[in-house]
Amino acid sequence: MANRRCLQALTRQATSLSSSVRHLNTPPLLSAPFPLKPLLDARQVSPSLEPNRCALWPPRARPFCSNRTSDDEDEDEDEDEDEDGEGGEVMEESDCETGKSSSRSKWEYTAEEREAEAAAIGYTLLGPLERSDRVFNPYEPVFAVVQIGSHQFKVSNGDCIFTERLKFCDINDKTQTIVGRPTVPDAAVHAVVEEHALDAKVIIFKKKRRKNYRRTKGHRQELTKLRITDIQGIEKPEKTDNEKPVKSAVKKSEKVAVAA
């Protein structure tokens, strides 16, 4: 199913945990060598989660983000997280912050509720990616099984997985999946939110023959693309050692690969 992903990125308004960054002016960023995607027309309202933000969204300028080109940086999916981190995060948080505080009566989540909901799905939000974080490690032959929502994935370092759209996550946020019982305690998988995207369109078509009934509907599922950066809770193999596979009891099977 991953080959049908349409990677038209969607900038998403979301509540963000750290509000201090929005007051920074973005430093002039290096111009990316990639073609900048036209994001200005893709700034749609995320439909399902915040329906009452529509009224305020279009005329809202972004008073705190000085550099308009910065919002294209974070949609590129490569490993160049330095520029992505700064540009993406400042853009995301300054989006609707000012309007958000004034008219958001129904959909305000306090910090505790946010964390409770996120933990219920199965992840914790660690915070935005800083410029100085070096999270993209080279490949290690360790894998972990992660459960997000109701889906389980077998992940390893450097993988990309598509999950349902995670609430309260911005692009370039680090999420950490905490596994509880009946899972391995004190193990964690770190991931970086790479983009929020929509799935390819499926057409829902219903027809009853000879009864003059025909319905057509289109649907695009909202997804989050996560890139796995780190797996903790198991000893990683040394490059020169020859270790036997380690057996762990429940839910998180880990393998220490025989070094080639």
Pick the closer one to another protein by CB: 96 or 155.
Answer: 155
CB of 229 to another protein, least distance (A): 20
Q: Token pair of 104, please? A: 């958001």
Pick the closer one to another protein by CB: 66 or 147.
Answer: 147
Interaction residues for another protein, span 180-199 (CB under 8 A): 182-183
Answer for the pair 194, 160: CB distance below 8 angstroms, yes or no.
Answer: yes
CB of 181 to another protein, least distance (A): 8
By DSSP bridging, strand 143-148 and strand 151-156 are antiparallel
Q: How many residues bind another protein (CB under 8 A)?
A: 24
Pick the closer one to another protein by CB: 36 or 257.
Answer: 257
- With CB under 8 A as the contact rule, which of the stretches 37-45, 105-113, 115-123, 204-212 interacts with another protein? 204-212
- Angle 168-174-176 from CA coordinates, rounded to 5°: 90
Q: Which residues contact 39 (CB under 8 A, 6 or more apart)?
A: 9, 11, 71, 72, 75
Pick the closer one to another protein by CB: 134 or 209.
Answer: 209
CB of 208 to another protein, least distance (A): 10
Give the DSSP H or E segment for 91. helix 81-94
Binding of residue 59 to another protein (CB under 8 A): no
Interaction residues for another protein, span 136-175 (CB under 8 A): 143, 145, 147, 152-154
Answer for the pair 198, 218: CB distance below 8 angstroms, yes or no.
Answer: no
Binding of residue 245 to another protein (CB under 8 A): yes
Pick the closer one to another protein by CB: 131 or 201.
Answer: 201
Query: With 0-12 CB in 10 A as exposed, 13-18 as middle and 19+ as buried, what is 139?
Result: exposed
Answer for the pair 192, 157: CB distance below 8 angstroms, yes or no.
Answer: no
Binding of residue 4 to another protein (CB under 8 A): no
Binding of residue 202 to another protein (CB under 8 A): yes
Binding of residue 216 to another protein (CB under 8 A): yes
Q: Name the 3-class secondary structure at 93.
A: helix
Q: Out of 203, 211, 212, 260, which residue is the one contacting another protein (CB under 8 A)?
A: 203
Binding of residue 2 to another protein (CB under 8 A): no
Tell me how crowded residue 256 is: count the other CB atoms within 10 A of its CB: 19
Pick the closer one to another protein by CB: 91 or 191.
Answer: 191
The full DSSP string for 180-218 is -TTS-TT-EEEEEEEEEEEPPPEEEEEEETTTTEEEEEE
Chain-centre distance for alpha carbon 225: 5
Interaction residues for another protein, span 39-58 (CB under 8 A): none
Residues that bind another protein (CB under 8 A): 143, 145, 147, 152-154, 182-183, 202-207, 214, 216, 245, 247, 249-251, 253-255
